Amino acid sequence: IWQLGLLNLLGFGIDPMSILVPFLIFAIAVSHGVQMIRAYRAEIFLGHESVRAARNSFSQLLVPGGLALATDTIGFITLLWIDVGIISELAITASLGVAMIIATNLFLLPVLLSYVKLPPHNVEKLQSRGEHLRPLWNRLDRITNPGPSLAIIAVAVALFAFGLWKSQDVQIGDLDSGVPELRQDSRYNLDAAVITSKFSVGVDVLTVIVETVPDGCIEHDVMDMIARFGWHMANVEGVQSVLSIASVAKVINAGWNEGSLKWRMLPRAPQTLALSVTPIETSTGLLNADGSVLPVNIYLADHKAETIDRVIAAVDAFRAAHDSDRHRFRLATGNIGVMSATNQVVRAAQFPMLMWVFASIIVLCMLTFRSWRAAFCIVLPLMLVSVLSYALMAILGIGLKVYTLPVAALGVGIGVDYGIYLFSRLESRLKRGDYFEEALLNAYAMSGTAIVFTGVTLAASVSMWIFSELKFQADMGILLTFMFIVNMLGAIFLLPAIARWLYRHHKRKDPPEPLDGNPETG
């Protein structure tokens, strides 16, 4: 509610893409709230009063909670790297939402908890419920054994290799025909498919702007070059038809000569050519007032990524060979021109965006935990999930586009919360001198239930998007559900398996050694 009110005050609106952000922010707030409630309940079990329990839980979660929300914010802010207006608004909207979570969950919630009074019988009931998962955490504690931990790491390495191999098949742009906002069986896309199949036009148009000299529309060499360009593009696979002032002028010239096909050509004399051009109004969009800008409309069969790449490559090849002072071919307007430009931005931004996300997480973990081991334990599972998400896109035929690219930053920024909460518990016990096995069991008991609940809650909330009538929302729902679940599994299984080997000097067979925060010792 605070986020929506703040957006209204700042003059931001809600569109089909940003409408998802409030739901996502709500899910994040629930996840952090669960961690705070879990810590508060643990303090109550120790016999502390509400005020003391709220103060202790705030002290315990201020650093990991602040770090988790900081990484969430950075994940959203990196979306500003993508020079697309709708994504920039999404980044600002999400960042404001996280700021509200910091105010409500980290500061307001402990204050509210300090006023909660639990009767003794309720405390006993809650404590008995908390013991139900103790056998599960005892079993998972076996991850600290060499065999299970190595097996988990081996599976992770195999999945990472598979993800790298399969992610190479991800294409930039749309993989289906029809408008990407709607499903293939929507009325609009079905009608568009019928029009494209029965006529030589379609809903996907690439307009190439030809800049020429004033009155270039009556210069034979200019018009002839436009006609040659039209013929060149008409023979490219995926092009339905080409409409230009040159093609219309040929038809008009034949009309002045009893419709003879022999006269469907461009007159060489400017005065004669003017007779064929004069009937063409500027309202047709084929020329401007002084005839110095002559757009060429190229109608495509679809807007699949491969079709756009093929057509744009053909335009680039022609203009590289024929551009001159008399005529310059410029890309592009029309919905295909916008898609092509967007695809180029996505292609250029995807790897720098992920690089900044992971680099910022590593730096924040190093500054917070003062340990390269901590950064490795938290970041490596995230990298695995990112690679697997690309592989999932390739398997499901989801293209990397303006709607799906933000998922990578969103998934990593939110998924890191799981690892941070679990590792902070693990590290705090190791600093006290606990054996690794005991520290991990305590981390599971204190944060494991909340992590599982958080992962399931986040996944369940965004999975509802899968049933949306808007296809891009459904695609985002699939990817985010996958990333939340796998990030949760990575925190529960892979992170402890990696930590078992990086902190092997804390095994039970060795004397307990308190951590001192030195990066060289952990």
- pLDDT at position 125 over 50: yes
- pLDDT at position 294 over 90: yes
The length of the chain is: 522
Structural tokens at position 126: 């809650």
- Quickly state the pLDDT bin for 126 (edges 50, 70, 90): low
- pLDDT at position 520 over 60: no
Determine the residue type at 252.
I
- pLDDT tens column, 447-467: 787 788 888 888 888 888 888
Contact 21, 476 (CB under 8 A): no
What count of other Cβ atoms lies within 10 Å of the Cβ of residue 243?
20
Mean pLDDT of 117-127: 62
- pLDDT tens column, 79-110: 777 777 777 877 888 888 888 888 888 888 88
- Quickly state the pLDDT bin for 517 (edges 50, 70, 90): very low
Which uninterrupted H or E stretch holds 52?
A: helix 50-77
- Quickly state the pLDDT bin for 415 (edges 50, 70, 90): confident
- pLDDT at position 40 over 90: no
For helices 20-45 and 85-101, angle between their N-to-C axes, nearest 10 degrees: 20
For the entire predicted model, the pTM comes to 0.80
Contact 486, 479 (CB under 8 A): no
Mean pLDDT of 477-499: 89
Contact 409, 79 (CB under 8 A): yes
Kindly report which listed range (85-89, 240-244, 295-299) carries the lowest average pLDDT score: 85-89
Q: CA-CA distance, 431 to 522, in Å (whole number)?
A: 10
Determine the residue type at 197.
S
- Quickly state the pLDDT bin for 233 (edges 50, 70, 90): very high
Query: What distance lies between CA 457 and its chain's CA centroid?
Result: 20
Q: What is the pLDDT of residue 514?
A: 52
- pLDDT at position 519 over 50: no
Q: What is the pLDDT of residue 228?
A: 94
Cα Rg of the chain (Å, integer): 30
Q: CA-CA distance, 195 to 501, in Å (whole number)?
A: 62
Residues 6+ apart with CB under 8 A from 190: none
Of 230 and 357, the one with more pLDDT: 230
- pLDDT at position 295 over 90: yes
* DSSP per-residue letters across 154-173: HHHHHHHHHHHHHHTT--BS
Question: Which of 476, 363, 488, 352 has its CA nearest to residue 414?
Answer: 488
- pLDDT tens column, 314-346: 999 999 999 899 999 998 888 888 888 888 888
